[in-house]
Structure formats: structure tokens, C-alpha cells
Amino acid sequence: MIKKKQPGHSPTKAMRVVAEERRYKMLELTKAGATERQIAEALGVSKGLVHRDVKTVLQELAKMHSKTADSVRALEMERYVALLSRWWQPAMAGDEAATNMVLKIMQRIDVINGIVPDRPLIDMRTQTIQLGEGMGLMELAKVIANGNGKHRTNGTGAANSGESITLSDRGVGSESIPETD
């Protein structure tokens, strides 16, 4: 949804400058190792604003100076490698706390290198996947769970009392399995 600007509610040039300075201050604090919560408390803003502002400034830097963004990633990698080398030997010797720290560091390395995506590749909230003539994934699972290749529907594909269908009736599979009781 696009927000419409209301007369008199547009940020002034001075306000935009203050916001830009705040973003770069947040970036500097982030580079110094401060958490979003620490930055929010130090600057008197919300943690969500810190997250959005740091993300915004990094995107702007990436657009304007892709080498600067690469430098930030390289700096982060150097920090993670230094931390990893500090914790590696104790972890390999069986120290549980050190092992947990190594795993956390390795996870962060995976994230900044793009090995682990920042959001899921698959949305598991999808409710219906059509498999044949209107047969959804849940209906197919019920047919399979029923174990006989037949499923009761109300004629629209919804599970209910009504007609009995076979997988082949829905374009799934090639033969009908006789119903057993």
C-alpha cells in the first residue's frame, strides 16, 4: 500500500539530514560491534528503527559504492574468522560452550556469505496445491493415509460423505485400487 503524502507532513530537508546522520551513526555503532538493542538504547529509538535504518544505509551504500558494502562484509568476515580461531581449539577439545560458540559463529558466516538465505525459500503456509482435477495436497494425503486409493468427497474435492473417487479419477496414478473393508 502506498502512503499518500499529506500537505505539511513531508519531512523537511533538515529532518532528512538528521535521519541520514542517524543512519550512518547506527552503521558506525554496528561496525563497532554494538547490537541493535544497544544502539536503540544509546540513540533513544526503537530496535525496529535501528534494523530498518541500518538495512537502508547498507542498501544505499551497496548502490552507490558496491566496494564499500564488500568492505563491510570483508570486515565482518575478518572478525568472524578471528573469533572462530579463538574458539576452535577448545571446541575441538570437547568444550561444550566453545562448541556452541563455534556453531553460532559459523552460522553468522553462512548468513553473510549468502549460504543461508535471509528468508525461507519455501512458504509452508500454502494451504492448497492442485494435483489433478482440483485435488489438493491435503486430500491426496488423506487418500494415501486411507491406504486403499479411494477417498470420500462431496463431489467438489472437499472431504465429506459423497462420491468415492480413486486416484486415477483425479489424474493421479493410472489404475484404480479396489476398496477393501
Against a cut of 0.75, is the pTM above it?
no
Element (H, E) at 163: strand 159-166
**Which three-class secondary structure state does DSSP give residue 21?**
helix
Q: How far is CA 84 from the centre of its chain?
A: 25
**C-alpha count within 13 angstroms, C-beta hemisphere, residue 135:** 22
- Which parts of the chain sit beneath pLDDT 70? 1-9, 118, 120-138, 140, 147-181
Task: Give residue-wise pLDDT tens across range 52-67.
Answer: 999 988 888 778 777 7
Question: Which class for 76: exposed (0-12), middle (13-18), buried (19 or more C-beta within 10 A)?
Answer: middle
CA dihedral 62, 68, 69, 75 (to 10 degrees): -170
Task: Give residue-wise pLDDT tens across range 132-159.
Answer: 556 666 676 777 777 655 555 544 544 4
Mean of the per-residue pLDDT values of the chain: 75
Residues 6+ apart with CB under 8 A from 160: 152, 153, 154
Give the whole-angstrom CA distance, residue 176 versus residue 148.
Answer: 9
Confidence at residue 84, expressed as pLDDT on a 0 to 100 scale: 94
